Structure 1
Amino acid sequence: MTTLTTTRVKLTNSVLKGLSEQIRRVNDTELPGFHLRISERGKMTYYLFYRLHGKQVNFKLGSHPQITPAQAREMAKQKAGEVANGIDVQQARKAQRLQTERDKLTRLEAFIEQRYRPYQETRNPKTATKLIQQFYSGFPELLPLQLSDITAARIENWRNAKKKGGMKDATINSYVATLKAALNRAVDWDLIDHHDLQKVKPLKSDNTRVRYLEDDEEQRLREALRARDQRLKNERDSANKFRQQRGYPLKPPLYDYPYADHLEPIVLLAMNTGLRKSELLSLTWADVDIKRKHLTILPSNAKSGKTRHVPLNSHALNVFKGWAKHHAHQHYVFERAPGDKLQDVKKSWNKVLEEAQIENFRFHDLRHHFASQLAMRGVDLNTIRELLGHHSMEMTLRYAHLRPEKKTAAVDLL
């Protein structure tokens, strides 16, 4: 049996070359505690042995030939000096490694992807993707920074630049609020001690925009939708004649369909239910009860995260009944492919607005149109709040000015 031995000698390159295979440790004669260990596979590693506060430690300096014996000895002298001053260099190294790992995690982009995105996806998967995207679209220049380097002064400069660029105050406030919420979470998770974005006060903005259709605009919109529907049906008929002449298989004629495609029913439903676009496009037939004349918005599809029941008037019922004739077999009410819900109507919606000569009107304004019509017909604001699914009355109060007769009646009491 071979005996593995330890030897004492001044560590030099020539000594390392002449070591026998049985040597496993070489203690340096010049610097106490400095030594070399050799593994069974021949790997050579330099260490400094020291005692501090009753604790014995072997501090790894590096490996040969990455560093020479002379370089390792200089490193050992430096660390021995730190130990003599009461510093536990092993613990200091561990602390530095932890700080390095922490610094990697506390870069904004790393924090978002590794900690904040999973948290948001668990908390609210419906809005997580849109929320995370705000960091990339709003703060690309901040992504490489440490969280602790995102200061109030930096955000004030960012905000001023965005204002000069034409970004609306409400949009700026939304971006800053998103960033504040993320940094608050970083503090809660002990990744940073604090942040000072509370010094960045929201810009004063009037976010109570109410744009609804005037009577003539509504008429033009309905006429444009009908004209578009007829045009699509004519185009299908013309395409089928072309196919028939060439012996190609025909597509189903659209004249038997109440609606040529999804746009008109979606717009009419938005006008008569006040649903958000995302709520409409997430509807399944299981959510629609034509017999009992109501539909249900599930918590997973509601902005408030709460179930909401919306009654259906005769217009909405007729739309659902007409659409169901050819689409009731689908899972979603509006699908782009079997089992795959429709994602957006932006292109066709903008085109029909152009044809109707309606300007400064978003799809979301159909929701305002619904609420405004109710308010102007005397429906109380709390009922409007419940139909829209507003969490508080504050958002619904934007429609109060549409009922001036209530204020007139109040002062008339005097």
Structure 2
Amino acid sequence: MMKALISASLINRLKPKEKEYDVRDTKTEGFLIRVLPSGKMRYVAQYARGRRINVGKVGVMKPEDARGKAADIIRDYEKGIDPKTAALKAKGMPTLRAFLDDDYAPWVKAHNESGEEAIKTIERHFSSLLGKKLDKITVQELEKWRTKKLESKAMQVNTVNRTITPLRSAISKAVEWGILDEHVLKGVKTLKCDDTRVRYLSAAETEKIFEVLNKREESVKAGRARANEWRKKRGKPLYPEYKKKDFIDHFLPMVIVTLNTGVRRSELFRLKRRYVNLEDNTLFVEKSKNYMARHIPLNKTAQKALKQWLKQTEAIESAYVFPSPRNPEKHVSSIKTVWTNVRDDCKVEDLRWHDLRHDFASKLVMKEVSLYTVQKLLGHKKISQTMKYAHLAPDFMAESVGRLDK
């Protein structure tokens, strides 16, 4: 952590780096400058451990004025006045759009790895609410939206519940920060749904899916070859050639890894290269849905796919196994379009991506792997979550009852 007297001459010497960094003031504790990769800088007051608030922009405020304001904020906090709450109330009741942009989005992205996706979910599904003031959002509007999604069968019950959660969380934070006196969506109850569904693939369905996936690979590679032949004749620069074993993109290796490890989609998206150990043949899940880290052994099929994909993408500077094609500093965040097309081409009915995880667990149980082992591989916190697969164990019930004969 860099420390220096924050002054005009210091600001002129500060240069942006690849990642944002802080410079702490040696005169006033808690006063600092944050330097962004873009070159922009802002004054910040840290009034408690892990709690900060922007004071102003460098170039708009003078250092001495910003230092004075930061000192006032820190003193107010010591008197029991939360500066964030005070600042938000001073603005008046914000619209949902303003609240997300100015306050909630920066906070949730800094504190939650899926924060960016949460903001996108709110913007995508509740765009009609963005212009409304927070205290004017009503339960009736959410109920109307939910009813429409369910009646049109655009979403299943659990998907509706999951989609509402980011909005509910944002409103909860507005209450916590003192912007709202009460939760305007407290009347929106989570719908009960059957979470015991176990959908796994038949041998014929698995064969059909990989037939479609392999045809997709061959079609793109053939198209690339034709394009390069055309460009070569006209003296144009060629596109990179696909090697025989190359994947055309991240989708096929993602399917293979999911079917052979049972990782959740979010875990797959966030999987980092350093957590794939091809020497020990293990995959480490750093942060799961229930915050339980786990190691998953890799079978030969998963090893082969990951080895090829990591080799193929080693020139891309990214921490992630499956980096975003547009921004390698981020991970892939959606496979919906490709998955929908593949599923439609396969003509396999009632299949969700999560069912690939069910398939992994179901096949293990049917091969007489213990439910305890399956629980650990899936990262279930409670064995009750894994018991949905119990009926697939050929001798599970019979063996249990048979113990009475002994």
Would the TM-score normalized by the shorter structure come out above 0.5?
A: yes
Q: Counterpart of 2:293 in structure 1: which amino acid?
A: T
Match of 1:351 in 2: 341
Contact 1:103 1:146 in 2 (8 A): no
- The verdict on how the C-alpha distance between 1:217 and 1:158 changes in structure 2, with shifts beyond 3 A counting, is closer
- The verdict on how the C-alpha distance between 1:144 and 1:295 changes in structure 2, with shifts beyond 3 A counting, is same
Sequence identity of aligned pairs in percent? 35
| Whole-angstrom CA distance in 2 between matches of 1:355 and 1:168 | 22
| Whole-angstrom CA distance in 2 between matches of 1:294 and 1:99 | 48
| Whole-angstrom CA distance in 2 between matches of 1:206 and 1:177 | 18
The aligned length equals 314
Match of 1:270 in 2: 258
| Whole-angstrom CA distance in 2 between matches of 1:220 and 1:285 | 30
- The verdict on how the C-alpha distance between 1:396 and 1:249 changes in structure 2, with shifts beyond 3 A counting, is same
Q: CA offsets per residue over residues 36-67 of structure 1, 9 Å max, x none?
A: xxxxxxxxxxxxxxxxxxxxxxxxxxxxxxxx
Match of 2:119 in 1: 132
Matched, 1:318 2:304: yes
Residue 374 of structure 1: how far off its partner (Å): 1.5
Residue 215 of structure 1: how far off its partner (Å): 0.8
Q: What are the residue-to-residue correspondences of 1:181-330 with 2, within 5 Å?
A: 181-195=169-183, 197-299=185-287, 302-330=288-316
Matched, 1:398 2:388: yes
Report SS of the residue matched to 1:397: helix
| Whole-angstrom CA distance in 2 between matches of 1:203 and 1:174 | 10
| Whole-angstrom CA distance in 1 between matches of 2:139 and 2:224 | 59
Gaps of 5+ in 2: 1-85
| Whole-angstrom CA distance in 1 between matches of 2:135 and 2:200 | 45
Contact 2:198 2:355 in 1 (8 A): yes
Larger Rg: 1
Q: What are the residue-to-residue correspondences of 1:52-63 with 2, within 5 Å?
A: none
Q: What are the residue-to-residue correspondences of 1:143-182 with 2, within 5 Å?
A: 143-150=130-137, 155-156=142-143, 159-160=146-147, 162-166=149-153, 167-182=155-170
Residue 387 of structure 1: how far off its partner (Å): 1.9
| Whole-angstrom CA distance in 2 between matches of 1:110 and 1:253 | 47
Matched, 1:378 2:378: no
Q: Counterpart of 1:128 in structure 2: which amino acid?
A: G
- The verdict on how the C-alpha distance between 1:121 and 1:337 changes in structure 2, with shifts beyond 3 A counting, is closer
Residue 195 of structure 1: how far off its partner (Å): 4.0
Contact 2:365 2:371 in 1 (8 A): yes
Residue 308 of structure 1: how far off its partner (Å): 2.8
TM-score (norm 1): 0.63
Divergent runs of 4+, >6 A: none
- The verdict on how the C-alpha distance between 1:270 and 1:375 changes in structure 2, with shifts beyond 3 A counting, is same
Match of 1:122 in 2: 110
Contact 1:213 1:369 in 2 (8 A): yes
Q: Counterpart of 2:388 in structure 1: which amino acid?
A: R
**More moved, 254-263 vs 357-366:** 254-263
| Whole-angstrom CA distance in 2 between matches of 1:250 and 1:146 | 53
Residue 140 of structure 1: how far off its partner (Å): 4.3
- The verdict on how the C-alpha distance between 1:100 and 1:243 changes in structure 2, with shifts beyond 3 A counting, is closer
TM-score (norm 2): 0.64
- The verdict on how the C-alpha distance between 1:370 and 1:110 changes in structure 2, with shifts beyond 3 A counting, is same
Match of 2:359 in 1: 369
Contact 1:102 1:191 in 2 (8 A): no
- Please, which of 352, 377, 389 is the counterpart of residue 387 of structure 1? 377
Contact 1:108 1:142 in 2 (8 A): yes
Contact 2:366 2:394 in 1 (8 A): no
Q: CA offsets per residue over residues 360-385 of structure 1, 9 Å max, x none?
A: 32333222221221222222333223
Instruction: Quote the RMSD (CA, aligned, Å).
Output: 3.5
| Whole-angstrom CA distance in 2 between matches of 1:250 and 1:100 | 55
Contact 1:254 1:260 in 2 (8 A): yes
Contact 1:151 1:195 in 2 (8 A): no
Report SS of the residue matched to 1:310: strand
| Whole-angstrom CA distance in 1 between matches of 2:184 and 2:326 | 48
Residue 321 of structure 1: how far off its partner (Å): 2.6
| Whole-angstrom CA distance in 1 between matches of 2:215 and 2:172 | 52
**More moved, 358-367 vs 132-141:** 132-141
Q: CA offsets per residue over residues 316-374 of structure 1, 9 Å max, x none?
A: 11122333443334334344368455454444433333443323323332222212212
- The verdict on how the C-alpha distance between 1:233 and 1:139 changes in structure 2, with shifts beyond 3 A counting, is closer
Gaps of 5+ in 1: 1-97
**More moved, 283-292 vs 224-233:** 224-233
